[in-house]
Amino acid sequence: MQDAMKLVVVGAGGRMGQTLIRVIQASEGVTLHAAVERGGSSLIGRDAGELAGLGHIDVAVTDDPLAAFLDADGVIDFTSPQASTEFAALAAQARIVHVIGTTGCLAEHDARIEAASRHARIVKSGNMSLGVNLLSVLVQQAARALDAAGWDIEVLEMHHKHKVDAPSGTALLLGEAAARGRGVDLTSHSVRVRDGHTGARETGSIGFATLRGGSVVGEHSVILAGEGELVTLSHSAGDRSIFARGAVRAALWARGQKPGLYSMLDVLGLSSSI
């Protein structure tokens, strides 16, 4: 049997970082090797278990990611686009698995992450949950079956008030699935904001609407609106552990793969359904 996979959590003090520490401690086949926060953070030196509400686990938070990566098997990263591109380069240097849940990446970040995947095994997804990835397959099928002339597609999302990017990574992932189903490119068909005298809706466009407030973990709906009927496909996240469990599953899966850039659909064996 293989040794437990040694995982580093970067952004250890964040909402997802703390959830990951709890999920890793509760999971078979993985062990928390290190916890990383940015230099200057008041969390450096604190015990990661205490930070996550578990009690002492003898893993002190460090601000030296490369030292942590060199003796690890993988890193799980829910931080920021800039930080994730830097961690991808370090994961490539250490030749380890890098699971990236960070959203809001621009083309320049994605290009750097793709370059790092020549040496690292990277799994990146705007949503690590099983439910959302299954939903994306269903959205693609619905968009293909219900034609653009008769059915308009709108993606609606709501998240907690601290979220900094919009539309959410999940909304974009679902928009991409709808665009694939329609055989069109999302960028040239999406309407990300509406305000003022917008004119009538353009046939075939894919609209996005963003709500923010309170402590909502993540609500997503894809609405297919026809004449006199609506089809709504939706997902509701009750707890951040669904993302953390997906990320751990991705790390274990990627351990056996060649260097490259993979998605959660690859991890879940759903790529052949798209």
Ligand X SMILES: O=C(O)C1=N[C@H](C(=O)O)C[C@H](O)C1
Q: Which residues of this protein are in contact with ligand X, per CB under 6 A?
A: 103, 126-127, 159, 163, 168-170, 218, 237
Q: Is 14 annotated as a binding residue?
A: yes
Q: What are phi and psi of 36, to 5 degrees?
A: -120, 135
| Residue of 33, 124, 159, 220 marked catalytic | 159
Of 273, 238, 258, the C-alpha closest to 129 is: 238
Site residues for ligand NDP, 40-59, by CB under 6 A, read 41
**Has 159 been annotated as catalytic?**
yes
Q: At what angle do helices 169-182 and 130-145 cross, to 10 degrees?
A: 30
HSE-CB of 35 using CA atoms within 13 angstroms = 30
Site residues for ligand NDP, 141-170, by CB under 6 A, read 169
Q: Does 78 bind ligand NDP (CB under 6 A)?
A: yes
Distance in angstroms (rounded) separating the CA atoms of residues 259 and 120: 5
Distance in angstroms (rounded) separating the CA atoms of residues 50 and 39: 19
Please tell me what DSSP assigns to residue 60: B
Residue with smaller CB distance to ligand NDP, 64 or 229: 64
* Nearest-approach distance from CB 88 to ligand NDP, in angstroms: 12
Distance in angstroms (rounded) separating the CA atoms of residues 120 and 100: 12
| Residue of 98, 109, 163, 220 marked catalytic | 163
Q: Does 101 bind ligand NDP (CB under 6 A)?
A: yes
Q: Is 102 annotated as a binding residue?
A: yes
Q: Is 27 annotated as a binding residue?
A: no
What are the binding residues for NAD(+)? 11-16, 37, 101-103, 125-128
What are the binding residues for NADP(+)? 38
What are the binding residues? 11-16, 37-38, 101-103, 125-128, 160, 169-170
